């Protein structure tokens, strides 16, 4: 079984790339983030033609998430238990589904902007709601929460920690929130480096950042023992980050020694 996660940074302009990637990488499940469109506007038909069911959740703002599956799609849940609101509005940042016997959540954690910005406090509240949701769902069955966490778990997960002084993504409260999530019994599926010593998954669009590997590992896969014990391989697909019109994130791919469960 192959499960992947990818922040596509707007599904409509990125659709040709997504379809091509689905065709040649053939994931059984693909979690998407930052759709930037509504649930109803998600381009279901071209994805369905490749054999995938779609569960999308978008409100037409700067977020939106989806799960694409060719091994079944059941128990779809949109949003978190006790999810906080920002500026009085709920944002489309989490969707869960059971695919071939594996429960997955596609999440797009709030950015936080700056540590003194109200969005930062919202980010921490959102991560706590995620922890509570995961805690209520965990069982002995394979389970994973995947997506753009907008947090680098350690200093080694950014290209130069001194470049992030007084910035979000690396602060102690954010990392502590991740640790509380992992303390539920989740392991960090660390991608195998394919080219550089460290497998970053995001590179800012500014010139030189990607070819010089000035990036961050913020696209994460956290799984319970039934999931992580089955990991046969994992990697960041840097090829999908290359060329004109690419997202600023690359897919993170996990291969599992699991056979999809049949209904």
Task: Report the binding-site residues.
Answer: 7, 34, 148, 150, 248-249
- Told to judge if 24 belongs to the known catalytic residues of this protein, a careful annotator would answer no
Catalytic residue among 28, 148, 157, 237: 148
Residues in the chain: 263
Mark whether 119 is an active-site residue: no
List the structure tokens of 136. 């209520």
Binding residues for Mg(2+): 7, 34, 148, 150, 248-249
The active-site residue out of 28, 52, 57, 108 is 108
Active site residue 122: no
Residues 6 or more apart from 22 whose CB is under 8 A from it? 30, 47, 50, 52, 68
Burial of residue 96, with CB atoms counted within 10 A of its CB: 0-12 exposed, 13-18 middle, 19 or more buried: buried
Q: Report the catalytic residues.
A: 108, 148, 249
């Amino acid at each position: 079984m192959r499960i992947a996660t990818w922040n596509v940074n707007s599904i409509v302009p990125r659709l040709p790339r997504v379809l091509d990637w689905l065709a040649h990488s053939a994931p059984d499940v693909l979690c998407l983030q930052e759709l930037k469109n509504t649930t109803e506007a998600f381009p279901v038909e071209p994805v369905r033609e490749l054999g995938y069911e779609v569960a999308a959740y978008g409100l037409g703002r700067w977020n939106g998430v989806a799960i694409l599956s060719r091994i079944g799609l059941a128990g779809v849940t949109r949003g978190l238990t006790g999810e906080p609101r920002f500026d009085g509005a709920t944002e489309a940042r989490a969707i869960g589904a059971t695919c071939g016997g594996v429960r997955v959540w596609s999440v797009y954690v709030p950015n936080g902007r700056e540590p003194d910005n109200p969005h930062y406090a919202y980010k921490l509240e959102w991560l706590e709601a995620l922890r509570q949701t995961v805690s209520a769902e965990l069982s002995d069955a394979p389970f994973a929460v995947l997506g753009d966490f907008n947090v680098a778990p350690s200093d080694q997960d950014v290209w130069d920690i001194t470049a992030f002084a007084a910035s979000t993504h690396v602060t102690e409260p954010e990392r502590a929130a991740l640790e509380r999530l992992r303390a539920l019994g989740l392991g960090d599926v660390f991608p195998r480096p394919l080219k550089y010593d460290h497998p970053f998954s995001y590179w800012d669009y500014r010139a030189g950042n990607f070819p010089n590997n000035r990036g961050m590992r913020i696209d994460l896969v956290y799984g319970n023992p039934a999931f992580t014990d089955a990991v046969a391989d994992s990697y960041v697909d840097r090829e999908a980050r290359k060329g004109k019109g690419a997202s600023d994130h690359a897919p993170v791919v996990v291969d599992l020694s699991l056979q999809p469960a049949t209904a």
